[in-house]
């Protein structure tokens, strides 16, 4: 069925740029390489990442029940480990050369271990104490977090690197991302919607079940489904961007991030975003308004727009520079969040404030979400493509591909700072007086206002709007981009021809 939909789906990017492609038919960066089978596989993979119960913080607070102090300690230790494993993960990936490619082996090797770890995490409340300060619980949580971080690093680098290597054509990448993301968005939110409704039914005692049973049952089931679906992409994906025969040394990979301006600008934007301070808005939905499914209700009016917004990507890419779209797509939500907060505090910061009234906040959040979803396609597509272009820019300037080390190095530099502040989010909750295990609607009156404030305007201002400044310095215009891909295409053709000639000589 999915294959049939894909065949009928209008290829927006192709239609808009048809004339350009006819003129530049022989240019490698305008051709189409990715097959229908791979498109189906990537669409399923993209959807699989959202097939989970979600509500991670609520699982920790209300089911696993671990103290905020121990969460903060774990975040600090995990931050150190995160930095350490980044120093060797990228190197290992970049030195990998197999008949299946550079990235696929890692994506395949860790998919099952990751699933097993996820299942054990969900089942852990069945065999661990409910005491938030239990030592054994802390040891388990710390160990699972560290192991998950190590697996996640390998999988993250492999996933990003594989996508960047699927095709040498930037238009082909965007086309795949638009198609896959728009299609998968139709059904990948269903588990989260169902989970929100079930949590509300449990909390309001409509269903005679506790949250522990709900999480320990649905968590493992959705994990198995997600893992099975993701395997399709791993088997059908092909790496088409040739890798240099000589692997770069560690120093070259690390310095590439700072030496090449587009990648350096993206790194600085990451660093600015680190200083965003706030709490999860899900806590506001549950602890103040009393409904986890509030999030789902908010999105209903915007569903058609979120899908339609993907059709804007191709014509907007043709009309505007990528930098303009990047800023607009990533910062518009922060801008309108400020107005949402101002509306919420009409009536005061006590129980008479709008932020306490479901009937007032539901339409307000609906309007905000609708406006935000107008930019959804841009937000989902442009940042990822900017990063892929920055990777290609590094290859263009340096003469070799080092995705593993560049991805690791960029993450490493950001993590060195981010992990120094990893405790902030948890301690913001502690500072406002949040009580773990209190249950929905049971936080104090002043705490409820602070939950609203710290989940809306605080993150919008501290990390959102301030992040516009470094974005203004991103420079990779259309003329330079086209020149880059033309020259890269010629180099890659020469590299493939050289490898084929070497293979023919050996066979003779």
- From the centroid of its chain, how far is CA 210? 30
Mean pLDDT to the nearest integer, 283-301: 86
**How far apart are the C-alpha atoms of 32 and 175, rounded to whole Å?**
9
Query: Which among 3, 311, 307, 14 is positioned nearest to 172, based on CA atoms?
Result: 14
Mean pLDDT to the nearest integer, 186-211: 81
Q: How confident is the model at residue 506 (pLDDT cuts 50, 70, 90)?
A: very low
Q: How confident is the model at residue 15 (pLDDT cuts 50, 70, 90)?
A: very low
How does pLDDT run across 70-117, given as a tens digit for each residue? 988 898 888 888 878 877 787 788 778 888 888 888 888 999 999 999
**How far apart are the C-alpha atoms of 116 and 218, rounded to whole Å?**
15
Q: How confident is the model at residue 145 (pLDDT cuts 50, 70, 90)?
A: very high
Query: Which among 174, 171, 161 is positioned nearest to 395, based on CA atoms?
Result: 161
Cβ-contact 276, 173 below 8 angstroms: no
- What is the reported pLDDT for 371? 94
Name the residue with higher pLDDT: 442 or 153: 153
- What is the reported pLDDT for 16? 35
- What is the reported pLDDT for 438? 63
Contacts of 318 (CB under 8 A, 6+ apart): 16, 17
The DSSP call for residue 100 is T
Name the residue with higher pLDDT: 416 or 173: 173
Mean pLDDT to the nearest integer, 239-251: 68
> What are the distances in angstroms from CA 163 to CA 177, 227, 288, 313, 428?
10, 18, 41, 19, 37
* Residue 235 clears pLDDT 50, i.e. is over it: yes
Helices (H) and strands (E) in the chain, counts: 27, 0
Average pLDDT along the chain: 82
Q: Is 10 helix (H, G, I), strand (E, B) or coil?
A: coil
How does pLDDT run across 123-138, given as a tens digit for each residue? 999 999 889 888 999 9
Percent of the chain whose pLDDT exceeds 70: 87
- What is the reported pLDDT for 362? 94
* Residue 119 clears pLDDT 90, i.e. is over it: yes
- What is the reported pLDDT for 271? 82
Name the residue with higher pLDDT: 423 or 81: 81
What interhelical angle do 68-94 and 250-259 show, nearest 10? Answer: 110
Choice among 41-50, 77-86, 365-374 with the minimum mean pLDDT: 77-86
DSSP 171-216: HHHHHHHHHHHHHHHHHTTHHHHHHHHHHHHHHTTSSS--HHHHHH
Q: How far apart are the first and last CA of the chain?
A: 47
Name the residue with higher pLDDT: 266 or 18: 266
* Residue 8 clears pLDDT 70, i.e. is over it: no
- What is the reported pLDDT for 249? 59
How does pLDDT run across 148-198, given as a tens digit for each residue? 999 988 898 888 888 888 888 888 888 898 888 888 776 766 777 788 888
Structure token pair of residue 141: 């949580």
């Amino acid at each position: 069925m999915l294959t049939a939909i894909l065949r009928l789906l209008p290829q927006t990017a192709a239609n808009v740029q048809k004339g350009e492609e006819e003129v530049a038919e022989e240019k490698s960066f305008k051709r189409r390489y990715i097959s229908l089978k791979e498109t189906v596989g990537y669409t399923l993979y993209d959807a699989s990442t959202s097939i989970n119960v979600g509500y991670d913080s609520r699982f920790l607070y209300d089911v696993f029940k671990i103290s905020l102090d121990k969460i903060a300690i774990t975040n600090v230790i995990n931050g150190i480990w995160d930095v350490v494993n980044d120093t060797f993960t990228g190197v290992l990936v970049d030195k990998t050369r197999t008949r299946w490619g550079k990235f696929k082996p890692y994506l395949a090797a860790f998919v099952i271990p990751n699933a097993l770890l996820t299942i054990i995490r969900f089942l852990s409340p069945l065999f661990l104490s409910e005491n938030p300060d239990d030592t054994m619980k802390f040891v388990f949580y710390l160990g699972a977090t560290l192991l998950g971080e190590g697996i996640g690093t390998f999988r993250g680098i492999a996933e990003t690197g594989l996508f960047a290597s699927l095709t040498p054509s930037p238009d082909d990448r965007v086309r795949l991302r638009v198609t896959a993301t728009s299609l998968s968005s139709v059904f990948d939110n269903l588990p989260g919607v169902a989970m929100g409704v079930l949590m509300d039914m449990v909390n309001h005692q409509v269903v005679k079940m506790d949250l522990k049973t709900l999480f320990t049952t649905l968590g493992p089931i959705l994990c198995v489904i997600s893992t099975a679906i993701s395997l399709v992409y791993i088997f059908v994906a092909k790496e088409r961007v040739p890798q240099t025969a000589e692997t770069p040394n560690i120093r070259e990979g690390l310095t590439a991030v700072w030496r090449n301006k587009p990648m350096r600008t993206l790194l600085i934007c990451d660093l600015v975003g680190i200083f965003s301070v706030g709490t999860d808005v899900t806590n506001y939905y549950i602890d103040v308004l009393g409904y986890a499914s509030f999030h789902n209700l908010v999105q209903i009016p915007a569903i058609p727009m979120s899908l339609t917004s993907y059709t804007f990507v191709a014509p907007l890419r043709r009309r505007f520079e990528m930098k303009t779209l990047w800023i607009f797509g990533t910062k518009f939500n922060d801008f309108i969040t400020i107005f949402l907060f101002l509306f919420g505090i009409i009536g005061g910061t006590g129980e008479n404030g709008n932020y306490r009234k479901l009937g007032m906040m539901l339409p307000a959040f609906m309007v905000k979400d609708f406006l935000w979803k107008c930019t959804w396609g841009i937000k989902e597509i442009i940042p990822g493509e900017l990063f892929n272009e920055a990777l290609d820019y590094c290859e263009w300037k340096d003469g070799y591909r080092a995705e593993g080390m560049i991805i690791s190095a960029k993450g490493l530099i950001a993590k060195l700072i981010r992990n120094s502040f990893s405790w902030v989010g948890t301690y913001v909750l502690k500072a406002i007086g949040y009580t773990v295990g209190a249950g929905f609607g049971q936080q104090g009156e002043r705490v409820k206002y602070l939950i609203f404030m710290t989940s809306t305007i605080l993150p919008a201002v501290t990390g959102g709007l301030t992040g516009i400044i470094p974005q203004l310095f991103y420079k990779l215009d259309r003329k330079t981009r086209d020149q880059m891909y033309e020259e890269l295409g010629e180099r890659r053709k020469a590299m493939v021809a050289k490898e084929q000639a070497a293979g023919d000589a050996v066979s003779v």
